[in-house]
Chains A and B, each alone.
Chain A
């Protein structure tokens, strides 16, 4: 074996404790060490993923107590795929902000990179853990770093956004604990696989109560309507790369948690229909809100919420095709939305308000960045031949397989709405005149490389979707097979 999944948590934590010490000796290390850690973990996760695809999931036992006594981590094709995606994006976000934060003093830089690393570690932990209380701990690690990153810029109204987030976030942790305690009081265990085997013993009343508390709590993190009040503000006020990290990493982990709870923990058939309903509501409301936004990042945030609605719908089909489609959207959304956030924050770099109107005529000054933004916009709408097309197609096929014609119509209608509001921006970038005579900020070398990598992936997946679909198929059949998950975890040694 190449390494152990527990290193995904242990190494970043060790580094986080070490960085303040190293920073006293060599200041530059606070920027470099997180990148090295993320790069190492990405290599580890890719090699573990290959191992897992060949030999089946790795169950990592912690403290020498096998499940259900101790805590365990599960590195299966499904969670491994998400972890690799998160670490890849995390590395890109780090590379993008490496020089972005060049002119920042030592202390804030130290804190920025620490919080960024812990944000990624918390999300990875949420995805890997096999224990519901441990999941709660990782959710808190993620959200506390997210509060800090949201309020990073003093010049903006970031403290307000962060306070809103904290208000909802602590409600989320309250509900999550209530749900966990109801389950513990009945089944006397906290291990997910163990809970799943004993779930049928629980009275239906308790099942429904804990499921409601779970969905409320995780819905706040996963931006499900009407619990997503924090998201647009947080995305808009946070630094640009952090917006990408929220959309690409944190929300993915939260959606994973929702899905793990509904697919593995509970066996309530009505939960799937419930997912479809909240998915539709979230998607429709978010996309119609996006069209009314004046600020670029708020528009991207609403679009992100809308995409998560689509993911929930696809998961709600409850079929293998549905999960495949949902994973495909999650992958594409992570890549494309990061590109949009990265390039968008340079297009609106000089304006304090970051209005959509401020990007007018940027194509003349920043041709490559504008081109990449347009590429991202076309890809996320789902125009062929870009990556987004294949994932939308997968959703539509999955819906057609389950004969949910209404959903097909809705998804198509929403795509038109997306087309309208993204083209509005692209149109401004290319065909409007610039209003003020300000020299726009040129992207740094790192940022340009990062954006080009993302653009290349969009094109690659667009022309050769087969490059990822094999992996996605394996990951989706892994999630479907609940009994195998239980058996793997409980027979771990």
Chain B
């Protein structure tokens, strides 16, 4: 009975949503006639005043940088909440729950590939304003490196303290750069540094600084999430 109700509800919802979006249309500009959408301004200003080739980065970090600050906070909060939900008193902490011995191929391969993963991640977030990618993507890549090490070596451990220091420093950098913008340019997150030459590494003003901070923060937070969950002893009833 409940199933039937849900199916009917979902059918109505699906039909309504789908027909709305079919009507909007795919593959062509769908804005109402007679307005100039903000995306044109974004694209033009990206080259003109920010000197950055990647329009998505310029939106994420500069035009809508405030959203990104909130987004980083959501991640920070998720780690905090995770720690609070799974908190145990010190004597209750057990060994890792996911314990399976990896073969020597995996362990030596992991050791070999780990630095390369970290390097790739760093490359992605340092070049976030020039090429596809950015702080979030680079941070996730670095976190996968730590995941690989945690899965291959039973004894591998990450210092919670170090993670939380990196996380805090990166967050302070983001918010601090924003506040510096308020002091220098009159508005929060104002791009107060010179924008440099397009397509060079040191260009775009505060954009690369913020994206590098985001990269560190995301890497630390995701590693923290993985580590907290891996250390969870899943033994049923206590």
A residues with a Cβ closer than 8 A to B are 4, 6, 9-10, 13-14, 16-18, 20-21, 24, 60-65, 68-71, 105, 107-108, 111-112, 114-115, 118, 125, 133-134, 137-138, 140-141, 144-145, 147-148, 151-152, 154, 159, 162, 178, 182, 185-191, 198, 201-202, 205-206, 209
Contact = CB atoms under 8 A, between A and B. Distances in A.
B176 A14 contact: yes
A13 B170 CA distance: 12
8 contacts: A4-B188, A24-B165, A69-B42, A71-B66, A111-B83, A114-B77, A188-B35, A191-B38
B16 A209 contact: yes
B35 A13 contact: no
A25 B191 CA distance: 34
B20 to A, nearest CB: 5
Interface residues of B, number: 59
Interface in B13-46: 16-17, 20, 23-24, 30-32, 34-39, 41-42, 45
Contact of A118 (B37, B77, B179): B77
B32 A64 contact: no
A162 B81 CA distance: 11
B178 A205 contact: no
Dominant SS among interface residues on chain A = helix
Contacts of A141: 70, 73-74, 77
Interface string B133-145: 0000000000000
A273 B32 CA distance: 28
A186 B87 contact: no
Contacts of B34: 201
A115 B189 contact: no
B38 A134 contact: no
A16 B169 CA distance: 11
A159 B85 contact: yes
A134 B70 contact: yes
Dominant SS among interface residues on chain B = helix
A64 B189 CA distance: 8
A368 to B, nearest CB: 33
Contacts of B31: 185-188
A201 B32 contact: yes
Contact of A205 (B20, B73, B89, B182): B20
A189 B38 CA distance: 6
B164 interface: yes
Interface of B: 16-17, 20, 23-24, 30-32, 34-39, 41-42, 45, 62-67, 69-71, 73-74, 76-78, 80-81, 83-85, 87, 89, 161, 164-165, 167-169, 171-172, 175-176, 178-179, 181-182, 185-191
A201 B35 contact: yes
Most buried by B among A16, A63, A125, A141: A63
Contact of B189 (A63, A187, A188): A63
A264 B89 CA distance: 50
Contacts of A187: 31-32, 35, 37
A148 B80 contact: yes
A200 to B, nearest CB: 10
Contacts of A191: 38
Contacts of B42: 69
A202 B84 contact: no
A186 B32 contact: yes
A71 B59 CA distance: 11
Contact of A14 (B63, B77, B175, B187): B175
B77 A20 contact: no
A198 B34 CA distance: 10
Contacts of B62: 63, 65
A166 to B, nearest CB: 10
A226 to B, nearest CB: 12
The 8 closest A-B pairs by CB, nearest first: A188-B37, A17-B171, A148-B81, A137-B70, A111-B84, A63-B189, A6-B188, A14-B175
B76 A185 contact: no
